Structure 1
Amino acid sequence: MKKIDATDYTVGVVGAGAMGQGIAQVSAQGGMRTIILDAKPGAAESAKATIAGRLDRMVEKGRMSDTAAAAAKDCIEFVEEVSGLADCDTVVEAVFEDLDVKQSLFKQIEDVVSDDCIIASNTSSIPIASIARACRVKGRVAGLHFFNPVPIMKLVEVIRGPETEDAVAANLSELGKRMTRIPVTVKDAPGFLVNLGGRAFTTEGLRVVHDAVATPAQVDAIMRDCRHFRMGPFELMDLTGIDVNYPVSLIVYEGYMQDPRLKTSPIHKALHDAGRLGRKTGGGWFQYGEGGKPVPGESPDHETNAAPAKQVALAEDDPVLAAFCADIGLAVGTDDGTCPILAAPVGEDATTVAVRTGADFRRLVAVDLLCDTATRVTVMTAPGADLSARDAVAATIVASGRKVTAIKDSPGFVSQRISAMVANLGTFMAEIGLASPDDIDLAMKLGLNYPMGPLELSSDLGLKNHVEILEALQAMTGEDRYRPTSWLRRRAALDLPIDTPS
């Protein structure tokens, strides 16, 4: 098996679509002879020209020197037949997601390359074991899963099939580095790492809206402002396309034997069946105009003409809540029977807090402080609440320069629910050994632009808080969807860091 740093290292790329072009480009930029093959006549030659144009634009923008661009162009070749891949040291398959097609292609590649040649698939959903099943030398087959657009997205998943040799996985990691990607090694499993780990953000957002706790716009605003995600789950689904994220959700759900943690919601299917696929069709969860520009819709901000509250009582002693009140200029006193009563529950809904503390549910206003409240604050009330109390508190918060999102009663508000589910799925991936804790966090940050990895998010919530949120959701809904992992429970019980090895 040739060393990756060899000057004559040769990479074959089969499939000249968007992904194949991107893989060929980063391969050539890594200084490797790169051979493109596509079954469609002229497609490989066209891909070479397209890549050359991209390199020229990088030079124009000052991102690459003329010399480097010229060198990369010189690395790219194209062939019309599989036999043209005979000299390759690694072949990366990037054709459409069809198992029969991939198995047939891998057999053809095996017939022409040496037994030392690594054959990798860029598949995002088909198990590597299924592809390798048709191969003569199964140990040299692995996954090399890039993310679109490849030249921009730095992550590459190295997928180890059941029979993938250690040297093959190690070499593919080095190959990824030579392509200036950041590799993470992942076990062969449905959705691999990123497509599995990304399920919780969208599916729990969907569940919040399905439960009529909040609107898509409210969920997105909360997750952007209070948890610093670049996009909320609904605008993210519209960007990737409902025709993409809905089928992937089903594949992962079925692949994990219908684990309720991974279940999507009926409203997801309804949008898919209606053909409202997001930006590409002009409408999904939101409406879009020319060029995919969002059309302004319902505001996530709570508006009220109520007079700001001057004084509140606290449902229970809470130094963090008391400090928040002081920060927004809200005096805390004894309950006079008329003032709003504040609480900052972790996991609980307003109803549970009222029953547990004896606070008057009609005047109780729950505030989510387990996130960043510098620009937006989420408030919720119990059924039957006097909304004038909520509005008075909201007016005070707005007067402090913050926005307010008012939601219906829910264990864990919005931010706590979604964050806890994202983090719990991360601990599940660590628990089953899908990848190392560090690689799980790294992959989710690089692959999905998360502000922190799921295990880091668990630490940020606080492990005991994390367990409390999930247990409260499980108790309220009766669903195993919210069961905390054993990985999380043990580390919370022992007061250990979330990434402590088993």
Structure 2
Amino acid sequence: MVDVTSRDLVIGVVGCGAMGQGIIQVALQGGMKVVAHDAMVGGAEAGAKKVIARLDRLVEKGTLEADAAAAIKDKLVVSNGIEDLAPCGVVVEAVFEDIEVKRDLFTAIEGVVAEDAIIASNTSSLPIGSIARVCKHPGRIAGLHFFNPVPLMRLVEIIQGPATDDAVIEKLVTVGERFGRTPVVVKDSPGFLVNLGGRAFTTEGLHLEHEAVATPAQVDAVMRDCGHFRMGPFQLMDLTGIDVNYPVSMIVFEQFLNDPRLRTTPLHRALAEAGRFGRKTGQGHFRYDDKGQVIDPPSPDHVTDAAPATTVAVATEGDEALAELLERAGLNVRNDDGTMPVVAALYGEDATGFAARTGTDHTRLVAIDTTGDTSKRITLMTAPAADPAHRDAVAAAFAKAGVAPTVIQDSPGFILQRMRAMIANLGCEMAQIALATPSDIDTAMKLGLNYPLGPLEIAEQMGVKRTYEILSAIHDATRDPRYRPSLWLRRRALLGLGAHQTA
């Protein structure tokens, strides 16, 4: 089989659009000779010129030496026909997502390259097994899924189809490393790893909006400030485009036979059908000006002119995180006199359920989310028919202490608990079905989606047992199978094991 460690390894890239150009660039910068091919007349030459222009800009910025750039450019060959791929030890296909086009192309490539050459697809959604089934040597067919923009995104998913030889996967790991990427090996499955794993973040945000629990601005602010995510789910959807993320959500949902964990919402579809795709159309979940800035951004903060509370009763005694929060807000804990706010730290439970279960006066109950980073923002919620004066007084106390209060409608798990538990649960389910190793799942989600932690790392930060308890409580309250805990999570929670424990 081809020696992928050889200095003379030749990489073929078929399809010289944006993704193909990025793959060409990282292969060249990895020191390999590249043959660029495109079926469109002039396509390979145009793509090569854009790659060269990018290299020139790197020289101008001082991040690439001129001599090194010249040597790199000399390794780029523009194909005059598919037969020019003959010397390639690895060919990466990066054409548009059409299964028949890819099958025809792979058949043509097989007729040109050596029998020990590896042929990989950059597909983001099509099954590798479906491509390989028409090939003479399906064992050498695999996925090599890069992320856009390729030169900036360090991740590459290496997809092992049903017939892919283990040796081919090992060699593609080496190729990915030579490209300067971080490779993760993934089983052939709908959405592969990142496109599947990202569904929890966006769809749970959409469900919070659908249930009128919180506004998009509130969800985004909590995920940024308390969860340390670079963007909230609604910001992200508007940036990538609802014309992109809605179809992907539906494809993954349908290919997983309508698993409720992956279900999106009617509003998501309505925005897509209305052409409100986000920044690119000027309106999505938010409205945008010509520079892509949000017009009249809604505030996630609860504003009140109520006098700050000074004393509260506590319905969940012994919660250290709650005690620290109350002290920081200058709230003194006293025995309940029947007139003061009653605060409670809840985990996976809504205020209604807690009040009914414990007999706490729901009109004075103010539930507080103590999870995540509460240094800048705190989330409060109350049950239906609660007296808003108690909520406002507690909110005012936090605001006075410099902590922005976000007030939401009653919800099992608030915002952050629901979002993080669902992200962790989907990560655990990916581990359960052996989609990838636990560590690779975490690596992929951090590099592919800029998560602050991987899904299984989130479970361990929250506490595996607590994550399981939060999901179980949400599932009990909603009876929605969307929130059923993964068996991977359940077993490790019950046995007191870490989320990464494999055996």
TM-score between both structures, scaled by the size of structure 1? 0.99
Q: Corresponding residue for 2:428?
A: 427
Q: Corresponding residue for 1:253?
A: 253
Q: Corresponding residue for 1:201?
A: 201
Structure 1 stretches of 4+ moved >4 Å: none
Q: Corresponding residue for 2:348?
A: 347
Q: How does 1:27-42 map to 2 (within 5 A)?
A: 27-42=27-42
Q: Corresponding residue for 2:457?
A: 456
1:147 deviates by: 0.1
Task: Report SS of the residue matched to 2:439.
Answer: helix
Q: CA deviation digits over 1:116-148, x for unaligned, max 9?
A: 110000000000000001101000000000000
Q: Corresponding residue for 1:268?
A: 268
Identity %: 59
Q: Corresponding residue for 2:117?
A: 117
Bigger Cα displacement from structure 2, 423-432 vs 285-294: 285-294
Q: Corresponding residue for 1:382?
A: 383
For the residues of structure 2 that align with 1:68 and 1:282, how far apart are their CA atoms?
Answer: 42
For the residues of structure 2 that align with 1:149 and 1:383, how far apart are their CA atoms?
Answer: 47
For the residues of structure 2 that align with 1:361 and 1:388, how far apart are their CA atoms?
Answer: 13
Q: Corresponding residue for 1:79?
A: 79
Task: Report SS of the residue matched to 1:96.
Answer: coil
Task: Report SS of the residue matched to 2:196.
Answer: helix
Task: Report SS of the residue matched to 2:157.
Answer: strand
1:173 deviates by: 0.6
Q: Corresponding residue for 1:222?
A: 222
Task: Report SS of the residue matched to 2:275.
Answer: coil
Task: Report SS of the residue matched to 1:292.
Answer: coil
Q: CA deviation digits over 1:315-366, x for unaligned, max 9?
A: 1313321221112211010111111110010001111111222211111100
Q: CA deviation digits over 1:43-99, x for unaligned, max 9?
A: 111111111111111122222111221122111111131111111101000000000
Which amino acid in the other structure matches residue 234 of structure 1? F
Task: Report SS of the residue matched to 2:406.
Answer: strand
For the residues of structure 1 that align with 2:348 and 2:425, how far apart are their CA atoms?
Answer: 14
For the residues of structure 2 that align with 1:273 and 1:153, how far apart are their CA atoms?
Answer: 30
Task: Report SS of the residue matched to 2:7.
Answer: coil
- Any conservation in 1 of the 2:349–2:477 contact (CA below 8 Å)? no
For the residues of structure 2 that align with 1:40 and 1:162, how far apart are their CA atoms?
Answer: 32
Q: CA deviation digits over 1:390-418, x for unaligned, max 9?
A: 00000000111111110000000000001
Q: Corresponding residue for 2:437?
A: 436
- Any conservation in 1 of the 2:225–2:376 contact (CA below 8 Å)? yes
- Any conservation in 1 of the 2:398–2:405 contact (CA below 8 Å)? yes
Q: Corresponding residue for 2:176?
A: 176
1:2 deviates by: 2.5
Bigger Cα displacement from structure 2, 62-71 vs 371-380: 62-71
Residue-pair matches, total: 502
For the residues of structure 2 that align with 1:184 and 1:375, how far apart are their CA atoms?
Answer: 35
Q: Corresponding residue for 1:332?
A: 333
For the residues of structure 1 that align with 2:321 and 2:248, how far apart are their CA atoms?
Answer: 41
Q: How does 1:48-447 map to 2 (within 5 A)?
A: 48-317=48-317, 318-447=319-448
For the residues of structure 2 that align with 1:293 and 1:50, how far apart are their CA atoms?
Answer: 29
For the residues of structure 1 that align with 2:395 and 2:119, how far apart are their CA atoms?
Answer: 59
Which amino acid in the other structure matches residue 45 of structure 2? E
Task: Report SS of the residue matched to 2:74.
Answer: helix
Task: Report SS of the residue matched to 1:291.
Answer: coil
How well do the aligned residues superpose, as a CA RMSD in angstroms?
0.8
For the residues of structure 2 that align with 1:290 and 1:71, how far apart are their CA atoms?
Answer: 41
For the residues of structure 1 that align with 2:497 and 2:476, how far apart are their CA atoms?
Answer: 25
For the residues of structure 1 that align with 2:31 and 2:464, how far apart are their CA atoms?
Answer: 46
Which amino acid in the other structure matches residue 322 of structure 1? A
Bigger Cα displacement from structure 2, 121-130 vs 248-257: 248-257
Unaligned 5+ segments in structure 2 are: none
1:297 deviates by: 2.3
For the residues of structure 2 that align with 1:340 and 1:134, how far apart are their CA atoms?
Answer: 68
Which amino acid in the other structure matches residue 209 of structure 1? E
2:490 matches 1:489: yes
